[in-house]
């Protein structure tokens, strides 16, 4: 059995030369005699999936929690307006409830998203509901106005303002309703639908003034109506201006007389065309949003929220990251044979291709041993002026180029490095035997 060798005892010169020549990593210094085994053991430890998971699980769990929290917040904030005024949406701010009630009363609802489709669908037996007329650009407004004049049906405009009123209802002006919280108003008119429905949630949006003859004004706020019925130039048709769209929302339909008013306004014809303007129908000034990047479309508040999430992730990474400090030596828990430590370092250095560092370590070690053999002080072991003459005096054969051998250039390949190690070993044996 081979007796373990104390790693503090350096191996024979040839073994030392081969180990150092084959393995010094670039930019590293010679390690203490007890360090090679630790370095080899550390470097040889395999990075298995289990080891990687143990090291990274804290950071990954923290990152997953942050992403989950961000997604939950995004869903909570973005879902509030999902399907707004959409007759297919059952969300609180959708309008599926009124569409289902109309269906029960024999009125079919068709959803369109372009002005052309809305104009084509208009007719004397059709009610055209425009959910956001202020989004329409001029050519779309003209198309809707033409359909209103020619169809002979009813057109319901939700919360139109000065942006769309000049084209859709000339002679009518709007102002924001200043009552704020007071949104439930009394009819205040003889319109059968309003009188039958009674008090309804028509405030909180706009109220109107008009010079149109025979207009019917209902649900006044500050003395001005929030519901205005304008007769059309075509016999049998009319236009309804609603200052607020709240009576059509799922979460408000059951309040006051909202359901009755909504059914009577939208159910006078057997067909209802529910027009929800798309981006293609938007005003050209607002169409610039279509050319914006994804990041530009994110609201400013979400940008700050994402920044906070990234900062939190960075803090978590710093908290869990491995701290790197200066190299320290420690006592090995077991004795490792010096030959194994030497071979381990040799493989690492050889893989790094560090011939320059290996040659430097080889020559430095040989100079120190030669200085001890020829009586040169250790402080002068690396001084060619002191060491070369002293070594030369101990040699009988003057064929050695000691300066090139002990202080020369880096070998150009592995063969030259091995040759250098052999020549240094031979030189030490010759000096020791002289």
Taking CA 61 as the corner, what is the angle to CA 56 and CA 67, rounded to the nearest 5 degrees?
125
Taking CA 20 as the corner, what is the angle to CA 18 and CA 21, rounded to the nearest 5 degrees?
60
Q: pLDDT tens-digit profile of 327-350?
A: 777 777 778 788 888 788 778 878
Residue with tokens 């297919």: 88
- Write down the pLDDT at residue 10: 42
Phi and psi at residue 9, in whole multiples of 5°?
-90, 115
Tokens for 173?
């002006």
Dihedral of the alpha carbons of 167, 117, 246, 91, in degrees to the nearest 10: -150
Distance in angstroms between the alpha carbons of the first and the last residue of the chain: 36
Residue with tokens 């106005």: 145
Note if the pTM is more than 0.85: no
Q: Report, as an integer, the average pLDDT of 247-264.
A: 93
State how far the alpha carbon of 176 is from the alpha carbons of 134, 169, 429, in Å.
Answer: 14, 17, 105
Q: What CATH number does the domain located at 86-275 have? A: 3.40.50
Phi and psi at residue 155, in whole multiples of 5°?
-120, 130
Helix axes 414-433, 355-374, angle to 10 degrees: 0
- Write down the pLDDT at residue 295: 63
Is residue 417 within 8 Å of 355, Cβ to Cβ? yes
More confident residue, 45 or 155: 155
Task: Return the bridge partners of 157, or none.
Answer: 130, 241
- Write down the pLDDT at residue 361: 87
Dihedral of the alpha carbons of 84, 90, 95, 100, in degrees to the nearest 10: 160
Provide the pairing of β-strand 271-275 with 172-176.
unpaired
Helix axes 414-433, 13-23, angle to 10 degrees: 160
Q: Report, as an integer, the average pLDDT of 119-140.
A: 91
- Write down the pLDDT at residue 229: 93
Q: pLDDT tens-digit profile of 167-194?
A: 999 889 998 877 656 688 999 998 999 9
Residue with tokens 């293609």: 280
Alpha carbons 19 and 13: distance in angstroms, whole number: 10
Q: Report, as an integer, the average pLDDT of 94-109.
A: 94
Domain boundaries in the chain? 13-28+338-433, 86-275
Provide the pairing of β-strand 271-275 with 238-242.
unpaired
- Write down the pLDDT at residue 305: 78
């Amino acid at each position: 059995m081979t007796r373990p060798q104390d790693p503090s005892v350096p191996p024979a010169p040839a073994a030392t030369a081969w180990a150092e020549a084959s393995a010094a990593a670039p930019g590293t210094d010679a390690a203490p005699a007890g360090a090679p085994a630790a370095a080899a053991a550390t470097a040889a430890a395999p990075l298995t999936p289990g080891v990687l998971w143990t090291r990274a699980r804290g950071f990954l769990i923290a990152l997953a929690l942050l992403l989950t929290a961000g997604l939950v917040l995004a869903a909570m904030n973005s879902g509030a307006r999902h399907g707004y005024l959409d007759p297919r949406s059952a969300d609180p701010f959708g309008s599926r409830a009124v569409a289902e009630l109309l269906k029960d009363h024999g009125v079919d609802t068709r959803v369109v998203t372009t002005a052309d489709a809305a104009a084509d669908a208009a007719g004397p037996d059709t009610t055209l509901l425009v959910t956001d007329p202020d989004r329409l650009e001029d050519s779309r407004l003209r198309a809707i106005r033409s359909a209103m004049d020619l169809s002979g049906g009813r057109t319901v405009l939700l919360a139109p303002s000065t942006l769309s009123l000049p084209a859709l209802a000339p002679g009518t002006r709007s102002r924001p309703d200043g009552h704020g919280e007071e949104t439930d108003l009394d009819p205040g008119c003889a319109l059968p639908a309003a009188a039958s429905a009674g008090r309804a949630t028509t405030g909180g949006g706009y109220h109107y003034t008009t010079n149109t003859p025979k207009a019917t004004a209902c649900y006044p706020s500050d003395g001005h109506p929030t519901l205005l019925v304008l007769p059309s130039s075509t016999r049998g048709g009319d236009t309804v201006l609603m200052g607020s769209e709240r009576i059509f929302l799922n979460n408000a339909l059951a309040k006051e007389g909202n359901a009755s008013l909504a059914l009577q306004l939208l159910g006078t014809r057997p067909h209802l065309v529910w027009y929800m303007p798309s981006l293609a129908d938007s005003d050209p000034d607002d169409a610039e949003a279509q050319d914006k990047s994804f990041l530009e479309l994110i609201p400013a508040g979400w940008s700050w929220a994402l920044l906070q999430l990234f900062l939190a992730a960075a803090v978590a990474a710093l908290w869990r990251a491995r701290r790197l400090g200066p190299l320290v030596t420690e006592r090995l828990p077991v004795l490792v044979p010096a030959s194994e430590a030497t071979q381990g370092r040799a493989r690492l250095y050889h893989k790094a291709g560090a011939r320059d560092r290996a040659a430097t370590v080889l020559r430095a070690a040989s100079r120190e041993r030669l200085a001890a053999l020829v009586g040169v002080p250790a402080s002068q072991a690396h001084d060619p002026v002191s060491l070369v003459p002293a070594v030369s005096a101990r040699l009988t054969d003057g064929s050695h180029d000691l300066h090139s051998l002990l202080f020369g250039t880096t070998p150009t390949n592995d063969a030259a490095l091995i040759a250098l190690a052999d020549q240094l070993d031979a030189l030490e044996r010759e000096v020791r035997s002289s």
